[in-house]
Amino acid sequence: MSGSSPFDHAWSFVGELGNRMFDNHVRLAVTGLRRSGKTVFTTTLVHHLLRAHDLDFLSAAHQDRYLGARLIPGEGERFTFEAFEADLMADPPRWPEATDRLTSLRLELRYRATGFLSKMVTPVQTLVVDIIDYPGEWLLDLPLVGTSYEQLSRDSLALARRSPRERISRDWLDRIETGDSSGMIDGYRLYLERCQHELGLSFIQPGRLMHGIDDLPEGTTFTPLPPGHPLEAEMAARYQRYVEEVVKPFYEDHFSRFDRQIVLVDLFSCLNAGPDWFDDSMTALSTILESFAYGQSGWIRRLISPRIDKVLFAASKADHVAANQHPNLKQLLELMIEPASRRARFEGIRQDVLALTALRCTDTVQTEHQRQALSCVRGRLKNEDRETVLFPGEIPPDLPSEEDWRSGRFRFHDFAPRRLRRRARGQHVRLDQAIEFLLGDKLE
């Protein structure tokens, strides 16, 4: 500190207090496609923050400055943390039900600051954190803001007539020919639902017609139609309302207020599903990333002034494979998001990628097979009642090759939850590193 004058001290004091006054509220958004692990992540994140427990990689905890947290009343529909936590702590524990709407939770974190003067003035600081869980599918709708109804119809119909969607689009396409307005809309929704549930696809636009439809305002559901169809004008008007009353308000009312974002990606289901599905997930991911590439999309800037300055991409459920596979898991996710993330980085958003486990349900164990050491996992498979040791397979360090797909080597299993306990350590993997990236600087 050589050369620092009393004036410097006073100046940094003023700056520090200013920051404390205006910078003590962070909105941390948690998203990811369906079943990517948002609810479990949010639950164990809050569980560990509340108890200030097992967070060694969080600097404030490591330096003994993080004191804990409490839940305080927040805004909007609440994330029912208590119920989700109780399910994971029950005997036997239960995974949460699927969720399809935006919910949030407000926490007040207590910590001791690092700054010399603020330590003297207010020894214990508070940081208010809103954690917002919302379906990643909603981000797939951003490009619709710049897409005309004619264009959307052209693209959607062309996609529906190609493999693999052609297998299930017949009923909807028939209804367009012969049905009435509500029959067509229902047919379209059913088709989208089957794209997701039967074909296991991720890139499903419009995302909000799938997730959170119960909350949609009157007259905002629609179906794409071929040009010249008698109901074209009606559907085009409905589509416009969908964009104006559903898509834009999400960006204006919610997205524009997020400060930090974590995007969870379940690479295991992408790999299990096969090459076409893997490509489809990559398209979905890069579309999601467009929401963070502010300058590129242009639309976002015109619509709102976004403030997200850090995004973390996390390969979730890393406990599906042995610990020695985690570096590959991280690398594969990096490769999947690389093209789009280059643009987002350009916009000045800090990014990081990691492989994490919100609730560890397996242990890595070494076994021997034909005199070769094999890294296996021990855990209880979903719907089985005993623990087994199995070789879960390996994660390729690169985008999968033809040979990888041909060999049918990706068959990852889902596990039953292990009971979340109050004082046990090692129930997560790198959850603390995620918190350090997302909130660490706010706890200084």
Ligand X SMILES: Nc1nc2c(ncn2[C@@H]2O[C@H](COP(=O)(O)OP(=O)(O)OP(=O)(O)O)[C@@H](O)[C@H]2O)c(=O)[nH]1
Q: Which of 16, 29, 32, 165 binds ligand X (CB under 6 A)?
A: 32
Residue with Cβ nearer Mg ion (39 or 169): 39
156 touches ligand X by CB under 6 A:
no
Q: Is position 99 an interface residue for Mg ion (rule: CB under 5 A)?
A: yes
Contact between 26 and ligand X by CB under 6 A: the answer reads: no
Interface pick for ligand X out of 16, 26, 27, 39 (rule CB under 6 A): 39
Query: How many Cα atoms are found within 13 Å in the side-chain-facing hemisphere of 7?
Result: 1
CB contact at 8 A, 351 and 312: yes
Q: Which of 10, 98, 237, 389 binds ligand X (CB under 6 A)?
A: 98
From the list ligand X, Mg ion, none, which binds 115 (C-beta under 5 to 8 Å, kind-based)? none
Region of 212-220, 285-293, 315-323, 390-398 interacting with ligand X (CB under 6 A): 315-323
- Is residue 35 at the binding interface for ligand X, with CB under 6 A as the rule? yes
Torsion angle (degrees, nearest 10) of CA 188, 190, 191, 194: 160
* 140, interface contact from Mg ion, ligand X, none, CB < 5-8 Å by kind: none
Three-class HEC string of the chain: CCCCCHHHHHHHHHHHHHHHHHCCEEEEEEEECCCCCHHHHHHHHHHHHHHCCCCCCCHHHHCCCEEEEEEECCCCCECCHHHHHHHHHCCCCCCCCCCCCCEEEEEEEEEECCCHHHHHHCCEEEEEEEEEECCHHHHHHHHHHHCCHHHHHHHHHHHHCCCCCHHHHHHHHHHHHHCCHHHHHHHHHHHHHHHHHCCCCCCCCCHHHCCCHHHCCCCCCCCCCCCCCCCHHHHHHHHHHHHHHHHHHHHHHHHHHCCEEEEEECHHHHHHHCHHHHHHHHHHHHHHHHCCCHHHHCHHHHHCCCCCCEEEEEECCHHHCCHHHHHHHHHHHHHHHHHHHHHHHHCCCEEEEEECECCCCEEEEEEEECCEEEEEEEEEECCCCCEEEECCCCCCCCCCCHHHHHHCCCCCCCECCCCCCCCCCCCCECHHHHHHHHHHHHHC
Residue 217 near residue 246 (C-beta atoms within 8 A):
yes
> Residue 206's binding partner, choosing from ligand X, Mg ion, none, with beta-carbon cut-off 5 to 8 A by kind?
none
Q: Which is nearer to ligand X, 229 or 419 (CB)?
A: 419
For the packed helices 81-89 and 38-51, what is the interaxial angle rounded to 10 degrees?
90
Please state the closest distance from residue 38 (CB atom) to Mg ion, in A.
5
- The footprint of ligand X on residues 43-72 (CB under 6 A) is none
* Per CB under 6 A, 96 contacts ligand X: yes
Q: Which does 345 bind (CB under 5 to 8 A by kind): Mg ion, ligand X, none?
A: none
Is 427 an interacting residue with respect to ligand X (CB under 6 A)? no
> In the window 164-183, what residues touch ligand X (CB under 6 A)?
none
Which entry of Mg ion, ligand X, none binds 153, CB below 5 to 8 A by partner kind?
Answer: none
In the complex with ligand X, the residue whose CB is nearer, 184 or 358, is: 358
Residues touching Mg ion, count (CB under 5 A): 3
At residue 112's C-alpha, the angle toward residues 108 and 116, to 5°, is: 140
CB-count burial class (<10 Å; 0-12, 13-18, 19+) for 302: exposed
**Candidates 15-23, 36-44, 116-124, 330-338 — which segment interacts with ligand X by CB under 6 A?**
36-44
Candidate residues 16, 26, 30, 39; the one interacting with Mg ion per rule CB under 5 A: 39
Which one of Mg ion, ligand X, none interacts with residue 184, CB within 5 to 8 A by kind?
none
Minimum distance, C-beta of residue 316 to Mg ion, in the bound complex (Å): 12
Instruction: Select from 26, 27, 28, 36 the one that contacts ligand X (CB under 6 A).
Output: 36
**Closest distance to Mg ion from the beta carbon of 35 (Å):** 8
Tell me whether residue 86 or residue 128 sits nearer to Mg ion (CB atom): 86
Determine which residue in the list 202, 325, 357, 427 makes contact with ligand X, applying CB under 6 A: 357
Report the partner that residue 59 touches, choosing among Mg ion, ligand X, none (CB closer than 5 to 8 A by kind). Answer: none
Q: With respect to ligand X, which residue has the nearer C-beta, 64 or 385?
A: 385
Please, which residue, 47 or 65, has the CB nearer to Mg ion? 47
Which listed option, Mg ion, ligand X, none, makes contact with residue 359 (CB within 5 to 8 Å by class)? ligand X
Where on the chain is the footprint of Mg ion (CB under 5 A)? 38-39, 99
Where on the chain is the footprint of ligand X (CB under 6 A)? 32, 34-40, 95-96, 98-99, 135, 316-317, 319-320, 357-359, 361, 414-415
